[in-house]
Amino acid sequence: MSCIALTGINKINENNLTGKSIISNNTQEPYYITRLKQVIFNRFITPVFTNNWKIVEQNMFSLQEIRNKLAKYINQANGEDLQIYLSFLDIIVELLAEHNHFEKLENMYNPNNTVGTIRFKVPKIRLQPEYELYKLIIGRPHKSVGYNEEILSYIKTLLNREYIEYSDIQKKVKERFNV
């Protein structure tokens, strides 16, 4: 509803018969949804990023209840962002299973009760994308030969294309260099 003010400027009048502003859309989400998001972050997402798997495992008891609430709120509020949280939880369950599997393997091959065993967990060293793709497509080069610079530069130019996928890069590299 607009009207002309005494200044002669056309402006929106917020007042109406209901007493509620018609121009301020209340986009703030309900507290219970905000609280659920905080719980998910505190119990699952943050501990995964800090490699604190024990906290994730300790909080798995509440996973089904949280999933049920998310499903209920997705249906009520039609919240697409809540669907992402549901996907996060699925990913975390899979990550925990993988983590436990590798912990078990590590304990089998490197038991704690041996004398003189030193273990280090070193994060994987990631190469620049063109080198990673080179290894995936062609394989790791022999130390005496090294990486083919022409192929690397070609892969690097392909990476500049927006939304290019691995399968496209692989196909183009194999066609161009007959590998």
Per-residue confidence in pLDDT tens, the chain, 179 aa: 555 556 666 666 566 555 555 555 556 788 888 899 999 999 999 999 999 999 998 888 888 889 999 999 888 877 778 999 999 999 999 999 999 888 888 777 766 666 656 666 666 677 888 998 999 999 989 888 899 999 999 999 999 988 788 999 999 999 999 98
Per-residue pLDDT at 156: 93
Name the DSSP class of 21: -
Is pTM beyond 0.95? Reply is: no
The Cα 86–Cα 67 span in angstroms is: 7
Per-residue pLDDT at 38: 92
The Cα 141–Cα 146 span in angstroms is: 5
Three-class DSSP category at 15: coil
Per-residue pLDDT at 177: 94
4 beta partners: 10
Per-residue pLDDT at 116: 59
Judged on CB neighbours under 10 Å (0-12, 13-18, 19+), 143 is exposed
Per-residue pLDDT at 62: 85
Q: For 106-162, give the DSSP string.
A: HHHHS-TTSTT------PPPPPPHHHHHHHHHT-PPPTTT---HHHHHHHHHHHTST
Per-residue pLDDT at 162: 82
Per-residue pLDDT at 171: 95
The Cα 39–Cα 1 span in angstroms is: 41
